Amino acid sequence: MAIYANTTKTLKSSNNYSYTLYGSFTEKSTSTSNNTSTIEGYGKIECINSYWTTTYPSTLEIYWYDNNANQNGKLIASTSFKGMSSQTDVKSCSGTITVTHKSDGTLSGYLKVIFTKGSTTSAYAPASGNSSTDWTALTNIPRYATSNQSLNSKTSSSIKMNWSSDSTIDYIWYSTNNGSSWTGVGSVNATSGSYTISGLAANTTYNIKTRVRRKDSQLTTDSSNLAVATYARTTPTISLSSKTVNSITVTSGCNVTVSSTKYRIKTSSGSYGSYQDSATFTGLTPNTAYVIEVYKVGSASGESGTATLNVTTYQIATINASNFIHGDNLPVTINNPSGAQVAVAVYTSDIQTALASYRNISGTSYTFNFTDAELDNIYKKYGNNSTLNVKVYVTMIVNNVSYWDYKEVTVTLKGNQKTQHIKVNGSWKRAYRWIKVNGSWKRAVRWIKVNGVWKRTI
């Protein structure tokens, strides 16, 4: 913006002639980046209806003065001459000077025009003198842009900030420690925008400042102390609630309030299936290692976190038994890690025929006290042999699924152990024929020869 200031002063005047001193200055341009203005000064002395000469040169000078003390009284231009050469004559000079504004961009100044008369005896010569313009405020050069910031978003490890300014900015910095140190964001060419600070610690408060550099002045401005806390990382926990041979139930927690919780499962060497809302998984395989994952989303941060748990389903109940002698009781032991209700029975080795029906039991042991009918069932399967292989079964039902285990043992028919029947009150009853062997009573068997082969009889 051009600013003009003028001055006029009469150095000598009569009815027939006059000498008038003129001065003016113009602010031609400004430099925001340099905080300077270029001033053009002009001065002249004008003679009307007079003529004078002098032996020594006279001078016309232009000086600049302002309220920046280190640049007062600077010569802009000057000229020398010996008198005025005609009845109406003008002597002038002009020049430019670059002046520096104060740090806040302001500057006031004035122009002084000085005429110094050379040695002369002419009555028509003007008097020496000077004239100054009034103090004038030059253009106020903008120096600092405003720096405003606000939180855009945050995570557990980053903060995104919005920034704005009243001027065009060409570079941005940020500080996370209230200005103790600064990190460059990069070049911009805008009055607003955003930037992201990454690699931060979770659940930690940072004192953020934004520094902007005004494009035209290259001066920087810092924003005020905005305290921003990163979110805590979403860190779920998971633990076993219960399990069976074919199901697992887990329980989970989290260090933050969550908006969503999901679960999924896989075998230790397999791939995960789909997520589900329930914390219970059914239809699993007994004695199998599984990995269960919980997935939670933090309500405030929207960030997810996972945790896993290794769980092996229980083994099915197993049975153990030893070879036994026909007619003796059969003790069995049960390993039942899941604690389910189980039942035990005795079958032929081809599992086609039940020799002793299932008994529901609890605990870890049971003794078969065979009924007469069960002893007959076993006896009928000997054929020509004195031993018989049988399978002792344990079965369990979990979630409507049956599981079983067995132990194959040998039943041996030793000595005279057969029984016979007798009719008592119209009903057949088992009668025992006994024989004393080595001082001990033994059940006896009856034999018959069929086609030259001895057979046991019923």
Q: Residues 44-56: pLDDT tens digits?
A: 999 998 778 888 8
Segment 170-184 mean pLDDT: 97
Helices and strands, counts by H and E, the chain: 1, 35
Q: What is the mean pLDDT of the chain?
A: 89
pLDDT at position 143 is 87
Residue 441 is predicted with a pLDDT of 56
Distance CA 266, CA 264 (A): 7
CA distances from 296 to 57, 238, 244, 256, 266 (A): 96, 11, 26, 10, 18
DSSP for 265-287, written as a single string: EEETTS-----BS-SEE-SPPTT
pTM more than 0.85: no
- Amino acid type, 395: T
What's the token pair of residue 138? 């030059």
Strands (E), 57-204: 58-66, 74-81, 89-100, 108-116, 129-132, 136-137, 148-154, 159-175, 183-197
Give the pLDDT of residue 186: 93
The more confidently predicted of residues 14 and 389 is 389
Query: What pLDDT is stored for residue 455 in this prediction?
Result: 61
Q: Say which range, 50-54, 175-179, 237-241, 439-443, has the weakest mean pLDDT.
A: 439-443
**Does position 416 have pLDDT exceeding 50, yes or no?**
no
What is the rounded average pLDDT of the residues 252-271?
A: 96
Give which of 345, 347, 340, 318 is closest to 400, Cα–Cα. Answer: 340
pLDDT at 438 over 80: no
Residue 71 token pair:
């640049």
Type and span of the H or E element at 243 = strand 236-243
- pLDDT range class, residue 440, cuts 50, 70, 90: low
pLDDT at 40 over 60: yes
Buried b (16+ CB within 10 A) or exposed e, 339-350: ebebbbbbbbee
DSSP 378: H
pLDDT at 418 over 50: no
Mean pLDDT value of segment 376-401: 88
Is it the case that residue 298 has pLDDT exceeding 70? yes
- Cα separation, 88 vs 161, in Å, equals 72
Terminal-to-terminal C-alpha distance of the chain: 135
CB-CB contact of 228 with 150 (8 Å)? no
Percentage of the chain modeled with pLDDT above 90: 68
The pLDDT tens digits of the residues spanning 113-140 come to: 999 998 887 888 889 999 999 999 999 9
What sign has the CA pseudo-torsion 283, 285, 287, 288?
negative
pLDDT of 103 > 80? The answer is yes
Q: Indicate whether 85 pLDDT > 80.
A: no
What is the rounded radius of gyration, in angstroms, for the C-alpha atoms of the chain?
A: 58
Q: Is the per-residue pLDDT at 208 higher than 50?
A: yes
Helix (H) or strand (E) holding 375: helix 372-379
| Short-list 271, 270, 342, 268, CA closest to 312 | 268
Between CA 403 and CA 401 the distance in angstroms is 7
Question: Which tokens is 215 given?
Answer: 């494009």
% of the chain at pLDDT higher than 70: 91
SS3 call for 373: helix
Instruction: Determine the pLDDT at residue 55.
Output: 81
Residue 64 CA to residue 71 CA, distance in Å, equals 8
Domains in the chain (CATH in brackets) are 4-137 (2.60.40), 148-229 (2.60.40.10), 236-312 (2.60.40.10), 318-412 (2.60.40.10), 419-456 (no CATH)
pLDDT at residue 415, as a whole number = 55
What does the pLDDT read at residue 422? 56
Q: Provide the 10 A C-beta neighbour count for residue 305.
A: 21
Q: Which residue has the tokens 């930690």?
A: 204
Q: What is the pLDDT of residues 337-359, one digit of tens each?
A: 888 889 999 999 999 999 999 99
pLDDT for 158 equals 97
On the question of pLDDT at 417 being above 50, the answer is no
Instruction: Name the residue with tokens 């050069």.
Output: 141
**pLDDT of amino acid 39:** 95
Contact 391, 346 (CB under 8 A): yes
Look at residues 290, 304, 296, 302 and name the one whose alpha carbon lies nearest to residue 277. Answer: 296
Of the CA atoms within 13 Å of residue 119, those in its CB half-sphere come to 2
The predicted model gives 389-410 an average pLDDT of 91
Pairing between β-strand 183-197 and β-strand 148-154 as defined by DSSP bridges: unpaired
